[in-house]
Chain A
Amino acid sequence: MTRDLWKHLILIFGALVVIAPFYMMISYSFKSPGEIDRGEGGFFGRQKMMVDERCVKLRDPDRDDVATASPRFPNQTDRQIRDALVAEAVADCPMRPIVFNYTKAFTEAPCFATCSTV
C-alpha cells in the first residue's frame, strides 16, 4: 500500500510538470492581455468586459463618416464629432476576454488573405 502511494506520488509529480504548460496555455486563452501581464484572475480570469481594439480600429471614422454624422452633433467641430464617433465605437466593441480570444482564434488564426486587409 505504502509502495503504491509512493508510485502515485512520483507519477503525480511528473504529471504536474507535464501538464503545467498546458494549464498555462488554457488559462491564458480565457484571460485578457492585462490579466496575463499582471498574472491575476486565477484560472478563468475575471471576465471583465474589455474593449476590442481591432473592432474600434475597424470603425475608425474618416472625413466622410464625420460629415455624415455632423447632423447628429450640431454646433460641434469636426474634431469633437470624430472623438464622439470613436467613443461610440469603443462603447460598441466591448467583449468578455474568453469571447474575444476564441473569436480571434477562429477569425484571425487562419491568416490567409484577410489579415493584410485590416
Chain B
Amino acid sequence: MAIDETHTPNVVSAETAQHRTALWLTAPALCLMILILLVPVVIAGILSFTDYSLGNDTFNWVGAKNYDRLFSRSTYEKMFIATFTYVVTVVPLSVGLGLGAALLINSMGRIGDIYKTIYFLPVMATLLAMAIAWEFMLHPSIGMVNRTLEMSCGTVLEFIPFLKNGCAERFPLWLGDRDYAIWVICFIGVWQGFGFNMVLDLAGLTGVHRELYHAAEMDGAKSAWERFRLVTWPALGPTTVFVVTISCIRAFQVFDTIEAFWPQGGGPNKSTYVMMFAIFEKGIQQNLIGIGSAITVLFLVFVMFLTLIQRWLVERKVHY
C-alpha cells in the first residue's frame, strides 16, 4: 500500500509529461493547420460581414447585407441554379459512367488496360488547354460537332427532332446559346471527371473477392445484374461514397472551363455563372472582397455539409 502511495505521484507526473510531450510534438502541425486552414476561413467569415476592398485602410460593418444580396438578387439566383444544375448533372453521370466503365474494363483481360489509359487521358490533361480544343470542336461553323451533325442531314437519322430542326434551320451555337451553354459545361465536366472515378472504382473492385461471387451464385444469384446488386454494389459501398463526395466537391469547384470560354462573364445571360467564377469575379476582378467572402463562406458550408454526409455514411451505413 505504501508502495502504491509513493508511486502514484510518479505515475501522474509521467502521464503529465507524456501529455506535454505529445502537445509539443503535435504543436507544429496544429499551428500550421490553424494558420493555413482555419485562419483564412475565419478571415473570410469576418470579411463577409464588411464592405472591405483591397487597398482600403478601413472598412464598414454591413451586417448580413452581403448574404441578403446573395439571396435576393437575380444574378446570384442564376449562380445557384448554374452551380446546382452542374453538380446534379455531373456527379451522377460521372459516377455512373465511371462505375460502368470500371465494371466493363474489369471483366476484360489485358485489353482493358488500353481503355483504362484512354479514359484516364482527360484527367491528366490540363482542363484549361482542353477547353480550347473543345472551343474549336464546338465552333458553330468549323467545329467537329456541328460538322458531324450536319452529316446526318438527308439520312434516316433526320427523323430525330433535334437533327431535323438543325438540318432545316441551323445547329446550335453551343457556347453562345444560353439554353445549351450549361449542358456543354456539364458534358465537359463528365468527360473530364469520369476517368478518375473509373480508376477509383477499379481499385475498389480489386478488393471484391471472387469467392463472394461463387457464394452468391450458389445462393441463386444467376444473372449478372443479381451478382452486381448482391455482391459488387455493397462491396463497393465505401468506394462509392468516397467517389460521390470527391465528385461533388470537384463539381462545386468548376472554374477553368468557364473562365476559358467566357472570361468576361459567366456565359450567355449568366447561364454558366457558377460559384467559383462568382468568387473570382467579385473578389478578384471587381475587388468586392465582402461579397466575394460571403460566396466563399456559402461555398464552404456546402462542401462541409457534403463532407459531413460522407463521414456519416462511411461510419454508419456502408460497413459490410
| Chain A residues, Cβ within 8 Å of B203 | none
Chain B residues packing against A (C-beta within 8 Å): 97, 101, 104-105, 107-108, 115, 118-119, 121-122, 125, 129-130, 132-134, 136-137, 142, 144, 147, 191, 195
- Chain A residue at minimal CB-CB distance from B125: A22
A24 touches B136 (CB 8 A): yes
Are B101 and A7 within 8 A (Cβ)? no
A4 CB contacts on chain B under 8 angstroms: 108
CB contacts under 8 Å to B, within A1-54, are 4, 7, 10-11, 14-15, 17-22, 24-25, 28, 36-39
Across the interface, do A38 and B142 meet the contact criterion of CB distance under 8 Å?
yes
In the assembled complex, 21 residue pairs joining A and B whose CB atoms fall closer than 8 Å, in A order, are A7-B107, A7-B108, A11-B104, A14-B97, A14-B101, A14-B115, A15-B115, A15-B118, A18-B121, A18-B122, A18-B191, A19-B121, A20-B137, A21-B122, A21-B134, A22-B121, A22-B125, A24-B144, A25-B130, A28-B133, A36-B136
- Cβ contact within 8 Å between A10 and B104: yes
Chain A residues, Cβ within 8 Å of B130: 21, 25
Chain A: residues with Cβ within 8 Å of the partner, total of: 19
Q: Which chain A residues lie closer than 8 Å to B129 at the CB level?
A: 25
Q: A18-B121, A19-B121 are in contact. Are A11 and B137 (CB under 8 A)?
A: no
Known: A7-B104, A15-B115. A21 touches B137 (CB 8 A): yes
CB pair A11–B121 under 8 Å, yes or no, is no
Binding site of B, secondary structure by majority: helix, strand, loop or mixed? Answer: helix
Q: Which residue of A lies closest to B119 (CB)?
A: A18
Given contacts A7-B104, A7-B107, 10 further A-B contacts (CB under 8 A): A4-B108, A10-B104, A11-B101, A14-B119, A15-B119, A17-B191, A18-B122, A20-B144, A21-B191, A28-B136
How far is it, in angstroms, between the C-alpha of A37 and the C-alpha of B305 when the chains are bound? 47
In the assembled complex, the Cα of A50 lies from the Cα of B136 at a distance in Å of 22
Identify the closest chain B residue to A28 (Cβ): B136
Which residues of A are found within 8 Å of B133, using beta-carbon distances? 21-22, 24-25, 28
- Residues of B within 8 Å of A19, CB to CB, are 118, 121
Q: A25 — which chain B residues lie within 8 A by C-beta?
A: 129-130, 132-133
Cα–Cα distance between A39 and B139 once the two chains are bound (Å): 11
Bound state CA distance, A75 and B115, in angstroms?
70
> Complex formed: what's the CA distance from A25 to B127 in Å?
13
Contacts of B125 in A (CB 8 A): 22
- How many Å from the CB of B55 to the closest CB on chain A? 27
Question: When chains A and B are docked, how far (Å) is the Cα of A40 from the Cα of B201?
Answer: 41
**What are the 9 closest A-B residue pairs judged by CB atoms, nearest first?**
A21-B133, A25-B133, A15-B118, A39-B142, A11-B115, A7-B104, A24-B133, A24-B137, A18-B118
